[in-house]
């Protein structure tokens, strides 16, 4: 007897298949249809981490390692240089170029981790499908970071002037926006991994961390701008520097445990799914049962 909700010979999902967006069970849903809960195409959920092999997992792990390195290198290098300058009290040190260079290192490493180290086609497909428009934002941030580095290095070789100070302030603001964009992209990737790994609670909490990191970083940076006056930095530049540093540090401490926990749990689930009888998490894709009326009945004797 043919089911009423599927036409004859329509391919449907047989087995548990979580939706890539809302984790809804797509069992018995048509492959050409959409998720009944959120409207995401079923084909997009099939083309996910569950169907990838070990090579993709290694590629994803390399890219995530570089993304986490991008979270450490910016605040770490800037903090070390800041402590060194405060200890030596060097009068010839210009804090703004150093700050901009270290803050722009984050988007550059994030771009390399996403588009270069993730060389597997499935990894690039994950970024292009799950993180739009974040991937395009990171490309813009990478271009702005590269241009900002060129401007900073060229102006560092010239004498100090009011025009140079204004340009450095603008580039510092660009660095702050690029760094914030990189932090949001990392958290968005955490949310995408959580959705694919069928952890809807963590996927729902990730936007709260995104908004909270931005608000707390802005408030903390503005309140802490007063303490940066000991270095003799101009007030607008000081606000930009401390605000960006506060955003980066807060997003760093918030995103780091989330990234570790989500990535490790997601990769463990994927590996466990592939090791289960050599099959992926999805059991099978089978045509819906139907009765063919255009074929003659079988004359074979029944088996005992």
Cβ neighbour number for residue 181 with a 10 Å cutoff: 21
Query: E-assigned strands of the chain?
Result: 11-14, 284-287
- Cβ 68 vs Cβ 256: under 8 Å: yes
- My answer on whether omega of the bond before 133 falls inside 30° of 0, hence cis, is yes
- Cβ 182 vs Cβ 145: under 8 Å: no
Q: What is the DSSP string of 162-216?
A: HHHHHHHHHHHHHHHHHHHHHHHHHHHHHHHHHHHTT-HHHHHHHHHHHHHHHHH
Q: 302 CB contacts (<8 Å, ≥6 apart)? A: none
Q: What is the pLDDT along the chain (304 residues), one digit of tens a residue?
A: 344 454 445 577 776 777 766 667 788 888 788 888 888 888 777 654 444 555 555 555 555 555 555 555 555 555 555 555 555 554 555 555 555 665 566 566 656 655 555 554 555 555 544 444 555 555 666 666 666 666 665 655 555 555 555 666 566 666 656 666 665 665 566 555 555 545 555 555 555 555 555 555 555 555 544 555 544 555 555 555 555 555 555 555 555 555 555 555 555 555 554 444 344 333 333 333 443 434 444 454 545 5
- Cβ 106 vs Cβ 181: under 8 Å: no
Q: Is the entire prediction scored with pTM above 0.75?
A: no
Which residues does residue 11 pair with via DSSP β-bridges, in sequence order? 287
For residue range 26-60, list pLDDT tens digits in order.
888 887 888 888 888 887 776 544 445 555 555 55
For the chain, what are the domain ranges? 50-271
């Amino acid at each position: 007897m043919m089911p009423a909700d599927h036409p004859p010979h329509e391919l449907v999902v047989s087995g548990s298949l979580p939706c890539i967006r809302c984790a809804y069970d797509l069992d018995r849903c048509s492959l050409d249809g959409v998720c009944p809960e959120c409207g995401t195409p079923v084909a997009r959920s099939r083309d996910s981490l569950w169907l990838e092999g070990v090579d993709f997992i290694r590629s994803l792990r390399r890219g995530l390692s570089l993304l986490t390195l991008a979270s450490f290198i910016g605040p770490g290098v800037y903090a070390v240089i800041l402590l060194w300058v405060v200890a030596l009290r060097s009068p010839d040190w210009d804090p703004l170029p150093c700050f901009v260079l270290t803050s722009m290192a984050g988007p550059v490493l994030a771009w390399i981790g996403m588009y270069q180290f993730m060389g597997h086609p499935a990894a690039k497909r994950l970024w292009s499908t799950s993180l739009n428009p974040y991937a395009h934002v990171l490309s813009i941030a990478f271009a702005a970071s590269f241009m900002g580095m060129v401007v900073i290095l060229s102006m560092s070789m010239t004498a100090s002037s009011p025009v140079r100070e204004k340009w450095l302030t603008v580039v510092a603001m660009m660095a702050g926006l690029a760094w914030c964009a990189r932090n949001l992209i990392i958290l968005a990737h955490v949310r995408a991994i959580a959705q694919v790994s069928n952890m809807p609670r963590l996927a729902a909490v990730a936007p709260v961390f995104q908004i909270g990191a931005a608000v707390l970083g802005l408030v903390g940076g503005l309140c802490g701008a007063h303490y940066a006056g000991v270095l003799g930095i101009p007030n607008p530049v000081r606000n930009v520097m401390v605000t960006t540093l506060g955003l980066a540090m807060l997003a760093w401490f918030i995103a780091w445990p989330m990234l570790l926990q989500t990535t490790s749990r997601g990769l463990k689930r994927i590996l466990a799914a592939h090791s289960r009888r050599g099959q992926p998490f999805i059991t099978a894709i089978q045509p819906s049962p139907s009765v063919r009326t255009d074929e003659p009945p079988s004359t074979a004797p029944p088996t005992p």
